[in-house]
Structure 1
Amino acid sequence: MKKILRISLYVMAILYMLAGLNHFLRPQSYLPLMPPYIPAPELMNYLAGIAEVLLGLGLIFKATRKWSAWGVILMLLAFLPVHIYFIQVDSCIENSLCLPPWAGWVRLVLIHPVLLGWAFLFTKER
């Protein structure tokens, strides 16, 4: 089981680092998803990217893993308004991402809790 957890940890770390880098490489993918009430969307996008990269890196090292996992959880909770906004606009952003309405609900109700639980696995010392 430890081997599966270790592989899971590295997969999660890599996914967050890649997602974070993507905020810089393709900001146009994220900006339309920001609810209009979020101030300075460009800055928020870059801050999210920095957070994802740093937290992903932090997951790799035992000394920072626990705090990085808690940081991932807090970051995922901070992303909830984006998921809710996506549902409010029927999972379709004009001239951007358009998915079936159920896709927004799947992201919010299934995928998001799985990501939270996955990060929670690493909040304990191992």
Structure 2
Amino acid sequence: MTVRRRHCRAGLAILYTLAGILHIALPGPFLNITPAWVPYPHHVILFTGVCELLGAAGLFLPALRASAGIGLALYAICVYPANIKHAIDNLSGGDASLWLWLYHIIRLPLQPVLAWLALYAGRVITWPFSARARD
């Protein structure tokens, strides 16, 4: 196994485990950024937390690794509207600080990177690294 892929897997597992726990234990902040068109937002937030935890665990099970990577990549895409709403809500007021602007300017373009990292960690893709990097 390549060290790069192992570190990617561990980092994503930590990130999604923490996020999953927060979604379940403290759903309020996530409910605040959930778009109004999402039905049953409390249930959706709970479900997303469970998905994050299962995806994080699945990255470490060879039989489930690819499925977990695909699931976490799809998850990153599906929650993007919430990230956009979060940015709009935070930045639409006249009192948005420089730190809020920087956070959202960095955060929004990183969402596709998270999707790519999940696919890479799940051994679904090797790009842009060589095929020899597969573990």
After TM superposition, is the score higher than 0.5?
Answer: yes
Structure 2 CA distance, aligned partners of 1:7 and 1:90?
32
Higher relative contact order (CA 8 A, sep 6+): 2
Larger radius of gyration: 2
Q: Return the alpha-carbon distance in structure 1 between the equivalents of residues 6 and 102 of structure 2.
A: 33
5+ long unaligned stretches in structure 2: 94-98, 126-133
Aligned to 1:72: 72
Aligned to 1:35: 35
Unaligned runs of 5+ in 1: 94-98
2:117 aligned residue: 118
| Aligned-CA RMSD value | 2.1
User: Closer, same or farther in 2 for the Cα pair 1:47/1:120, shift >3 Å?
Assistant: same
The match for 1:83 is 83
Comparing 52-61 with 115-124, greater Cα deviation is found at 115-124
Q: Which residue does the alignment assign to 2:104?
A: 104
| TM-score normalised by structure 2 residue count | 0.78
CA–CA distance in 2 between the matches of 1:116 and 1:61?
19
Number of equivalenced pairs: 120
Cα displacement string for residues 20-75 of structure 1 (whole angstroms, at most 9, x for unaligned residues):
01111111121111111211111110010010001111111111000110000110
Greater Cα offset, 25-34 or 66-75: 25-34
Q: TM-score, normalised by structure 1?
A: 0.83
Question: Percent same amino acid at aligned positions?
Answer: 27
Contact 1:91–1:103 (Cα < 8 Å) also in 2: no
Report runs of 4+ in structure 1 exceeding 4 Å deviation. Answer: none
- Output the CA distance in 1 between the equivalents of 2:101 and 2:7: 33
